[in-house]
Amino acid sequence: MISDLFQNSEKPFIYLGKGFTSEGLPLFAEPNEILTTNRRSEVRKILEEIQNRVSKGERAAGWISYEAGDLFLNPKTEEVHCQDPLLWFGIFPKYKILSEKEILELESAYTDLGYSSKIHAEIDPEKYKETILKIQNFLYQGDVYQVNFTFPLEIDFNGSLGKLFFELRKKQPVPYEAWIHTGKQSDIIEKDVLSFSPELFWERISNEIRTVPMKGTRPRGKNPEEDRKFKVELSGSEKDRAENLMITDLLRNDLGMISVPGSVHVSKLFSVEEYPTLFQMTSEIRSKLNSNIQWMDTLSALFPGGSITGAPKKRSVEIIKSLESPRGIYTGGIFYLEPNREISSIAIRTLEFSGSSFGNKKGRMGLGSGITIGSVPELEWEECWSKAKFLNDSQNSFYLFTTMLCRRGRVYFLEDHKDRLKTSAIELGFVWNNKSWEIYIQEIIDKVDAKSSYRVKIILSQNGEFRAEVSELQLGPKTGKILLSKTKMDQDFSLLYHKTSVREVYSEGYKQAISNGYLDMIYTNGECYVTEGSIHSIFIFLKGEWITPSIDQGLLPGIARKYWIRKLKAKEAKISLENLSQASKIILVNSLRGIRRIDGINFE
C-alpha cells in the first residue's frame, strides 16, 4: 500500500498536488535515482543532466534552493559548499495518480498518530523594524524599488509528520501542495519538505509559458462583512497594486529574454484569490517561447522568482544577502518535469524538517513580504504573521488514551487509569467530565462477554469526547529478549510523562522489536540512562534490590509500574547501561500483559 511507503523512512518519495499534473489529481512517485549536491560547482551539471533525462522520456521532481539562484545571477562566483543541498531531484520512469478515495485512505493511516510543536521567530518586532528602515534607506537612495525581506520561524517538532501534513492541507488547501521525503542517504541529512504554496512560478506546455506572481496580502475576516471589507481593501490598495505591478513588469522583462518578440502579454492584472486564512493579489503573464528554449534557459531567465526577491532583481538579491541568513528551500522552487511540460511553484508556506522521520525534529518555515518606500514596519510584521496562521492554528494535534484489561466483566486498575488520564487532561487543557467517564466505562462493561478477556483502549479528545477500541486480548510470550534502541529520548519533552498519541517513536520501535522476535524496544535518555520500553515499564534486580527508572528520567508513570513498586518494594533511581548489563534479573511490566521476564539484551 502507498500508506506503507509514506511511513517508510528509508526510501525517498515524492507527493505533488493536483496543480502539478496534467490529470488535475495528486501524484505519487518513488524515485529510482536521486540527483543532489551541496556544491555550487556541481549544480549546473546536475540541472543539465535532469534536462537531458527528461528529454529522453523520464520524469523528474524535486526542489532548487533559493541560494542556487546565485548561479544564474552571478555565474563567475567562486565555489561554495553549503550545509544543505542546493538542489534535490528524484528521477522516475512512472508515477501513480491518486484518487480522492486514495488520499482519504492515506490520511486515515495517520488517524491514531499525533504531534506537538513549538514555534518561535528568530527576530523580534524591534529588530524587524530596524531592518525594514535599513531597506527603506536603500529605496530612498534609488538602489531598488522593492525588496522582499524574509525571516525564518524555527519549529521544535515531536511526532508524526504525516499527521502534520494532512492537518495542514485542510487548513491551507492549495493546488501546489507537496511532500518530498529524501529518505536515508549516507552523505545527506534526511529531509522532509512539506509545501503548501499557493503560488505558481511557471508552467510551460510545449512552447507556451505562463507565470503568476503573487504580491499583496490581507487576512480573512472574522465574519462575512469583515471578509468583504478586506477583499475590497486589497483590490483597491494603491500600495499593493504598485508592488504587484513592479513584479509583473520584472517578470515581463524576464520572459522577454526567452520569448518570441511581441508575444509577452499580461493576461490578468490585480486578481484577488481567496484562501482559508488569506486574500492574495496575483497577476498572470503569458508568452510564446523561442523555438530553441530549454528548461535551463528558462531557469537562467526566471530563477529566483521576482516575487520573492524584488526589483531590480540582482541588486535586491545582494541586499537580501546582506540582511538575511540563508533561506534554503524557502522561496526557491519545487518542480515537476516531463517531456514537453514543466511546472514549478514558488516554495512559500513551505516547512523544511531535518533529521529522522520519527521523534524529535528541527524544522523551519520562512515568512516575508515586499518592502517599498510606503511600507509601515508594524503592518508588514502583521502581514508576515498572517501568512503563518495556518501553521499557528495547527501547532498540536493529539489525543490522550489509556489501555486497560477487562476480564470477566471487570476492568483492572480502573481507578488508577482514571486518575492518570484525568491528571493528564487537566495539565494539558483537555475537557474532563467524571460522569461521562463513568457512563462510558459502564457501557463498555455491559457490552463485552463476561467470560472473555479484552484489551480496552479509551481515547479522550481535547473537547472531552470519549471513544473506545475493544479487542480480544492477545498476551504473547512471557519470556524473551529485549532490543536496546539507539534513539535518545529528550527528558525535557513534557509529553513523555503523559500517554498521548505523540508516540510514533515508541510504536515504530515496538513494531521493529516484535518483528525481529523481541518482547520490546528499550530506550535511554540523553544522559544514557534507561527510561522505559515502547509498551512496558522496566525493573532490574541488582545487588539484592529491585530498581526501576525514576520518573524524572523521562518516562510514563505506568499503572503496572506503580503496582510493582509497592509489590517488590522497588527503589526509583537512575539505571545506567552498565547497571542493566550487571542485573541478575530483568522484568517488564504492563497493566495489560502483567510480568514478562527477560533472558537477553541486544543492541539496535
| pLDDT tens-digit map of 388-403 | 999 999 999 999 999 9
Answer yes or no: is 388 within a domain: yes
Query: What angle is formed at CA 486 by the lines to CA 485 and CA 488, rounded to 5 degrees?
Result: 95
* Average pLDDT across the chain, whole number: 93
Question: Is there a contact between 488 and 390 (Cβ–Cβ < 8 Å)?
Answer: no
38: in domain: yes
How much of the chain exceeds pLDDT 70, in percent? 97
89 pLDDT band (50/70/90 cuts)? very high
Is the same domain home to 241 and 110? Answer: no
Indicate which CATH number applies to the domain containing 539: 3.20.10.10
Residues 141 and 253 in one domain: no
- For 420, phi then psi, to 5°, come to -65, -45
pLDDT score for 543: 95
What three-state secondary structure class fits 55?
helix
Cell numbers for 525, please give them.
535518555
Q: How many residues does the chain have?
A: 604
pLDDT of residue 122: 87
Q: Report the pLDDT value the prediction gives residue 409, as an integer from 0 to 100.
A: 87
**Count of domains forming the chain:** 4
Q: Does residue 495 register a pLDDT over 70?
A: yes
DSSP H or E run through 548: strand 545-549
Q: Report the percentage of the chain scoring pLDDT > 90.
A: 88
Number of H helices and number of E strands within the chain? 17, 33
100 belongs to a structural domain: yes
Are 161 and 95 part of one and the same domain?
yes
Phi, psi of 144, rounded to the nearest 5 degrees: -145, 165
Residue 243 to residue 266: CA distance in whole angstroms: 15
* Phi, psi for residue 499 in degrees, rounded to 5: -90, 100
Contact 144, 363 (CB under 8 A): no
| Alpha-helix runs per DSSP H in 303-413 | 313-323, 377-386, 389-392
- Indicate the residue among 372, 397, 422 that finishes a domain: 397
φ/ψ (deg, to 5) at 52: -65, -45
Same domain, 354 and 418: no
Q: Per-residue confidence at 8, pLDDT binned at 50, 70, 90?
A: low
Do 300 and 382 reside in the same domain of the chain? yes
514 and 427 in a common domain:
no
Buried/exposed 307-339: b ≥16 CB within 10 Å, e otherwise = bbbbbbbebbbebbeeebeebbbbbbbbbbbbe
Confidence tier at 187 by pLDDT (50, 70, 90): low
User: Given CA atoms 321, 323, 325, 330 in this order, what sign does their dihedral have?
Assistant: negative
pLDDT of residue 539: 98
Provide the pLDDT for residue 2: 56
Q: Which three cell numbers stand for residue 325?
A: 541568513
On the question of pLDDT at 78 being above 90, the answer is: no
* pLDDT 10s digits, 549-567: 999 999 999 999 999 999 9
pLDDT of residue 119: 96
Q: What is the pLDDT averaged over residues 377-392? A: 95
Residue of 494, 78, 164, 128 lying closest to 357 (CA atoms): 164
> Catalytic residue among 199, 352, 383, 508, which?
199
Task: Report pLDDT for 474.
Answer: 87
Radius of gyration over alpha carbons of the chain, in Å? 28
Q: What DSSP assignment string belongs to 217-235?
A: EEEPPSSHHHHHHHHHHHH
Rounded Cα distance, 31 and 183, in Å:
11
Judged against a pLDDT cut of 60, whether residue 370 lies above it is answered with yes
Given a contact cutoff of 8 angstroms between Cβ atoms, the answer to whether 325 and 131 are in contact is no
**Residue 78 per-residue DSSP state:** P
Place of cell 543532489: 36
Instruction: Give dist(CA 505, CA 196) in Å, integer.
Output: 26
Final residue of a structural domain among 283, 314, 340: 283
Question: Is the confidence at residue 381, as pLDDT, over 60?
Answer: yes
3-state DSSP call for residue 177? strand
- Output 187 or 227, whichever has higher pLDDT: 227
**458 grid coordinates:** 479509551
Q: Are residues 194 and 124 in the same domain?
A: yes
Do 492 and 422 belong together in one domain? no
Q: Is 102 helix (H, G, I), strand (E, B) or coil?
A: helix
Strand, helix or coil at 544?
coil
User: How far, in Å, CA of 383 to CA of 368, rounded?
Assistant: 8
> Which H or E element spans position 366?
strand 360-371
- Burial letters 450-489, b for 16+ CB under 10 A, else e: eeeebbbebbbeeeeebeeeeeeeeeeeeebebbbbebbb
Same domain, 256 and 341: no
Residue 4 has pLDDT above 80, yes or no: no
pLDDT of residue 341: 96
- Within a domain: residue 288? no
How are beta strands 278-288 and 214-219 bridged, if at all? antiparallel
Residue 95 CB coordination number (10 Å): 18
Do 33 and 125 fall into the same domain? yes
215 is catalytic: yes
**Per-residue pLDDT at 422 exceeds 90:** yes
Per-residue pLDDT, 457: 96
Mean pLDDT of 564-587: 97
Closest Cα to residue 201, out of 255, 241, 238, 246?
255
Instruction: Name the band, by pLDDT with cuts 50, 70 and 90, for residue 79.
Output: confident
Mark which of 370, 397, 424 sits at the end of a domain.
Answer: 397
Q: How far apart are CA 583 and CA 433, in angstroms?
A: 44
| Catalytically annotated residue among 18, 215, 387, 499 | 215
Of 53, 52, 50, give the one whose Cα is nearest residue 42.
Answer: 50
Confidence of residue 9 (pLDDT cuts 50, 70, 90): low
Supply the pLDDT for residue 80: 77
Q: How sure is the predictor about 6, in pLDDT bands with cuts at 50, 70 and 90? A: low
Assess whether pLDDT exceeds 80 at residue 76.
no
Q: Are residues 193 and 266 in the same domain?
A: no
Average pLDDT rounded to a whole number, residues 140-158: 95
Query: Residue 281 class from Cβ within 10 Å (0-12 exposed, 13-18 middle, 19+ buried)?
Result: buried
Q: If 0-12 CB within 10 Å is exposed, 13-18 middle and 19+ buried, where does residue 111 land?
A: exposed
Question: Per the structure block, which three cell numbers stand in for 577?
Answer: 547501561
* Structural domain boundaries, residue 68: 2-207+293-397
Rounded-to-integer distance, Cα 350 and Cα 335, Å:
14
The answer to whether position 413 is within a domain reads yes
The CATH number of whichever domain residue 57 belongs to comes to 3.60.120.10
Let me know if residue 115 belongs to a domain.
Answer: yes
Q: Which helix (H) or strand (E) holds 444?
A: helix 434-447
In whole angstroms, what is the distance from residue 74 CA to residue 352 CA?
26
Q: Does 199 participate in catalysis according to the annotation?
A: yes
Q: Are 50 and 81 in contact (CB under 8 A)?
A: no
For the entire predicted model, the pTM comes to 0.91
Confidence of residue 604 (pLDDT cuts 50, 70, 90): confident
Q: How far is the C-alpha of 254 from the C-alpha of 268, rounded, in Å?
A: 17
Query: If DSSP codes are grouped into helix, strand and coil, which group holds residue 481?
Result: strand
DSSP 407-425: ETTEETTHHHHHHHHHHHH
Phi/psi class of residue 183: alpha, beta or left (left: φ > 0; alpha: ψ in -120 to 50)?
Answer: left
Distance set, CA 164 to CA 160, 346, 364, 384, 398 (Å): 6, 21, 14, 21, 10
Q: Are residues 450 and 484 in the same domain?
A: no
Over residues 289-305, the pLDDT tens digits come to: 999 999 999 999 999 99
- Residue 311 counted as domain residue: yes
Q: For 277-292, how does the pLDDT look when each residue is reduced to its tens digit (9 = 90+)?
A: 899 999 999 999 999 9
In a domain, 440, yes or no: yes
3-state secondary structure of 452: coil
Region 27-46: what's the mean pLDDT? 95
